[in-house]
Amino acid sequence: MKILNRLLDNCRESDRQMGMRLGVSGGAVRARIRKMQEGGIIKEFFVKVEPPVLGYGVLYLVVSGENVSEILKQSSLVGEPYFVVPCVGGVTVCGISIKANMDQKIELAKRLMSQVRILSIFEAENPGFSSNLTKTDLEILRELIKDPRQRIEQIARDTGMSTKTIARCIEKLHENDGIQFTLVYDPVKIKDFIPHAVLVWIDGDLRETLERLDGMFSESYMQIPFIAKNQIVLFMYSDNIFKMDELTQKVRSVKNIRSADLFIPKEILFYTRWVERAIASFTKSSRLHLTYQTD
């Protein structure tokens, strides 16, 4: 679980570096990663790009129903799917990347999602996500989407760029809070532990509340929390349902927290087509920099 935690936060960290931090050899880390891949726990390594980085908004939907193909079909009429997570209890959480006219798209979604009952729908504006990406940055990002763990030398051969340029670009991407080198895992295949997410709604100072949550729950984090305008999503794991419920109740008792909803994922699906289209569109433009700022 500790190796999985580190890979979720930065899948480009080398086996040797992880081993040094965890007190085991790099070979042992490599063997455990291979075992998780063979067992289906690790489905794929993945570059998670937050839509605001590329100038998109995000519409979050919580719907009653688990028909992923139907949800994708209807949500694609509003925007492009960003992620879909069917959860225990017949609820599905999904994110849709929206290029423009968010208010109109929210109303359109309410009308179109006729086959499912919308439990919650809201726009999440990610604070502080900005980018000043060049066409070179985006070309390298496009290569990394194919395989986030590939070596710099391989990217250099495929793109014809220098290793120095690629290393500098990857460092820049790492520093962007809206871009994460991570992985997609299968929660059902993780034995002895239950991955779960707690969606927290905040009344008060967001950063102060996050620091308080970090101090209380970081040992139970599966990966770094996701921060939105007035929400925090805590990705956690427990070894039994009673511990999971206890953690959720403790989260609800923290100062500045208005409410906290528990979600237990059965499947996690991410989509990159919208990223690929955004990159392709920008590389055809005459602009040298893709610059957005979301407050």
Distance CA 210, CA 33 (A): 30
Q: What is the pLDDT of residue 100?
A: 76
Is residue 51 classed as helix, strand or coil in its secondary structure?
A: helix
CATH architecture classification, 189-263: 2-Layer Sandwich (3.30)
Torsion angle, alpha carbons of 105, 108, 109, 114, to 10: -170
- Per domain, the residue ranges of the chain are 2-39, 189-263
Average pLDDT over residues 39-51: 94
> Which residues are 134's β-sheet partners?
289
Contact 47, 179 (CB under 8 A): yes
The per-residue pLDDT for range 143-164, each reduced to its tens digit, is: 999 999 999 999 999 999 999 9
pTM score of the predicted model: 0.88
Average pLDDT over residues 198-219: 93
Quote the distance between the C-alpha of residue 17 and its chain's center: 23
Q: For residue 122, is pLDDT > 80?
A: no
pLDDT band at residue 294 under the 50/70/90 scheme: very low
Sign of torsion, CA 199 3 175 138?
A: negative
Residue whose tokens read 């979050």: 60
